Amino acid sequence: MEKRNIPIIKTPFINLQSDFGFKRAFGSKKFKKVVIKFIRAAMGDEINIKRVVPHELNYHDKEILPSIEKGKRILYDVYFTLNIPKDNSGLKSYHIQKEEREMDIEHHFIFEMQNVYSPPLEDRMAYYAFKSVTEQGKTGWNYDLNPVILICLTDFDFPHLSKRLIHDFELREKETGEILTKKLRILFYSLKHVANEWEKCENDLQRQLFLIKNMDKMDKNSKPYIEGGYEEYFEAAESDNIVGEEAVAYSQSLEHLQEVQAGLDFRYDQGYAIGEQRGMAIGKQEGIAIGKQEGIAIGEARGEQRERISLARRMKSRGYDAFTISDITGIPLREIEAL
């Protein structure tokens, strides 16, 4: 049997925005401390998580199949539940029998990493959260919901929302701001607005987001590594511990991310060129000048289409799904399937 070449990871720490890197750090039983550390920073004092230990976190199947024929399948990046005590302020130790402490509340957490905005992504995230709510239903159930918290990291800004680091959504009364229920919450963290220097991070949450964004650019001489306090992240991301098939999976995941980023750059460049041409056309005379401009535009459009088709074919040959190819290149799904 032909021996498979194992790629060499060229950075001391892996990219945590890649699908492999994100799921390794936040979806692996081996690195539960990473996700607990993140939740503590994200939730603050809102939920009683200070004494929660890793064995209270349970990962679940990331795929939820539709309950009806032709229903929509869900495939989360990371999905887990975490048992959090209502009040453990008076406990001498958290490591006591569960029966002896006040009833725990099982929190459902969905973690997502989204590097590309493809509308309606915000609706898809809402659907993911709502599905986790409805899946709790069972015979004899009295509608006492367990909290569902969806945390989505993005490498973009939503076109219809303000440009900021955090967007925090709950079900509230429109005029008074009163909260209807605390059992459903969706948070978006935009890596676009993470400080560009470690020293400029203002709190623990911002420092963790900085690590997620910049992990593959650091080494053991970097200030975050030397200062300490985030050993869980560096242990999960250390490339020396990723060998064999895991190295292959990471290499493919990183290549996919780079292809996506290249596709976004292509779309941006094309949009800029088209805008520039339109701006120049405004100042030109009508008649012959317009006809000439239209001829140029037609030629450019054909050239652009050829480039899009070429990119789509390369992505298809590398195993990308038609939806991703369509989103990046702008080519309709039916045309991609025909390539």
pLDDT per residue as tens digits for the range 300-315: 566 677 777 878 787 7
**How far is Cα 190 from Cα 194, in angstroms, rounded to an integer?**
7
Residue (of 193, 226, 227) closest to 210 by Cα position: 193
The two beta strands, 104-114 and 148-154, are: parallel
pLDDT band for position 334 (cuts 50, 70, 90): confident
The DSSP symbol for 287 reads: T
**How far is Cα 115 from Cα 89, in angstroms, rounded to an integer?**
39
Position 147 pLDDT exceeds 90: yes
Sign, CA torsion 196/219/153/120: positive
Q: Which is higher by pLDDT, 21 or 300?
A: 21
pLDDT, one tens digit per residue, over 259-285 is 887 776 555 445 545 555 555 555 555
Q: 3-state DSSP call for residue 247?
A: helix
Tell me what pLDDT residue 276 has. Answer: 52
Geometric angle at alpha carbon 185, from 180 and 188, rounded to 5°: 140
pLDDT, one tens digit per residue, over 205-261 is 999 999 999 999 999 999 999 999 999 999 999 999 999 999 999 999 999 999 887
CA separation (Å) from 309 to 261, 272, 313, 329, 331?
17, 20, 6, 8, 8
Sign, CA torsion 15/249/122/173: negative
The two beta strands, 57-59 and 74-75, are: unpaired
pLDDT band for position 289 (cuts 50, 70, 90): low
The DSSP symbol for 152 reads: E
- Cβ atoms 243, 237 nearer than 8 A: no
Residue (of 333, 294, 320) closest to 116 by Cα position: 320
Tell me what pLDDT residue 295 has. Answer: 56
pTM over 0.85: no
- Cβ atoms 217, 197 nearer than 8 A: no
Cis amide linkage into residue 120, ω under 30° from 0: yes
Query: What value does the mean pLDDT take over residues 94-117?
Result: 75
Laid out side by side, the sheet with 148-154 consists of 57-59, 78-85, 104-114, 148-154, 179-190, 166-172
**How far is Cα 198 from Cα 34, in angstroms, rounded to an integer?**
19
